[in-house]
Amino acid sequence: MQIVLQLCISGVSLGMIYAVIAFGYQLTYVTSKTLNFGQGEALALGALVGLSLSSWIGYWAMLPMVLLFGLAQGALVERLGVRPALKTRSEFGWIMATIAIGIIGKNMAETIWGKDDLKFPSPLPETPIIFGDGLRVMPMEILVLVGALAMMLLIELLSRRTLVGKAVVATADDREAASLMGINTGSMITLSYGLSSAVAALAGVLVAPLTLTGASMGVSLALKAFAVAIIGGLNSGMGVIVGGLLLGIAEQFTAFYLSTGYKDVPGLLMLLAVLAIRPTGLFGKTVIKKV
């Protein structure tokens, strides 16, 4: 029983990282029906920029800077890659463009920070907190959980409570009708890309002390988060949290009871199962339009 609980706890923080990256995929998908396939590189860049900045201005002051960096990086991806592709009505151009920009970002990161993995110093004590009779939780794992939830809640709140947030929702609902309200829907899509990358960059900073930091650190995270976005549904915030937690915990169990070599299998199995049973995702809504 003890070990089961311990595995769950370890799975939660990784699961929340998957969830928050998947949430980033959703942000751009709802407004533009496109995804940033360079999300993993956005995450790695965020972590590396954060690493350099934190040695200079300290961990907590670095966070808002990484947020700004992510916003700018995502906006750039949209302007350079996605918008031109959508303008020429090239159906899959945005896929190639976002992948290409991701690769460029990765090469730049390798040039600046090198190809070796770096150690991201933990801002919190690295001794586990012991709960009850021997449940060990790393303070950093709690920070990951709280940070990921806070990001999602904040964006949710902004989109419900602020006028610009409502304009983003309107753009997601019906882009043409939104433009009839005087909303510059292109800017709303740029904003959603900026937010999506900002979330990924901050997720990178959060996860970096628990993993290694380097230009390739985001590749498998982004891929699994993509699976989580499909599993949870591309339009359900609740779906990615549940999907992320399921995957994070399933991976811990596989690694412990089978072998760390099979760690990536449960995600793929879950993905295949969901695609076979419920292609819109576990929590995906089929949109009903009234006539």
Partner 1 sequence: MLTLTDIHAGYGRTSVLNGISINVPRGQLVCLIGSNGAGKTTTMRVASGMLPVQSGRLALEQQPLDGLAAHHVQRHGVSHVPEGRRVFPSLSVLDNLEVGAYRRARFGLRAKIDDDLDRVFGYFPRLKERRQQLAGTLSGGEQQMLAMGRALMSRPRVLLLDEPSMGLSPKLVDDVFAAICELRSAGMTMLLVEQFAATALGVADYAYVMENGRIVLHGTAQQLKGDPAIRDAYLGKAH
Residues in contact with partner 1 by CB under 8 A are: 163-164, 166-167, 169-170, 172-174, 176-185, 287-291
- How far is 276 from 222, CA to CA, in rounded Å? 22
Q: How far is the CB of 288 from partner 1 (least distance, A)?
A: 7
* CA proximity to 24, closest of 169, 202, 164: 202
- How far is 136 from 146, CA to CA, in rounded Å? 17
Judged by beta carbon, residue 132 or residue 289, the one nearer partner 1 is 289
Judged by beta carbon, residue 83 or residue 224, the one nearer partner 1 is 83
Cβ neighbourhood burial of 143 (10 Å; 0-12, 13-18, 19+): middle
Judged by beta carbon, residue 129 or residue 164, the one nearer partner 1 is 164
Strand partners, 215: none
Judged by beta carbon, residue 277 or residue 288, the one nearer partner 1 is 288
Judged by beta carbon, residue 92 or residue 161, the one nearer partner 1 is 161
Q: How far is the CB of 77 from partner 1 (least distance, A)?
A: 22
Q: How far is the CB of 175 from partner 1 (least distance, A)?
A: 10
Q: How far is the CB of 156 from partner 1 (least distance, A)?
A: 13
202 phi, psi to nearest 5 deg: -70, -35
Q: How far is the CB of 33 from partner 1 (least distance, A)?
A: 16
- How far is 138 from 122, CA to CA, in rounded Å? 11
Judged by beta carbon, residue 139 or residue 165, the one nearer partner 1 is 165
Q: How far is the CB of 91 from partner 1 (least distance, A)?
A: 15
- How far is 172 from 287, CA to CA, in rounded Å? 12
Residue 128, number of CB atoms within 10 A of its CB: 13
Write out the two tokens for 185: 């829907």
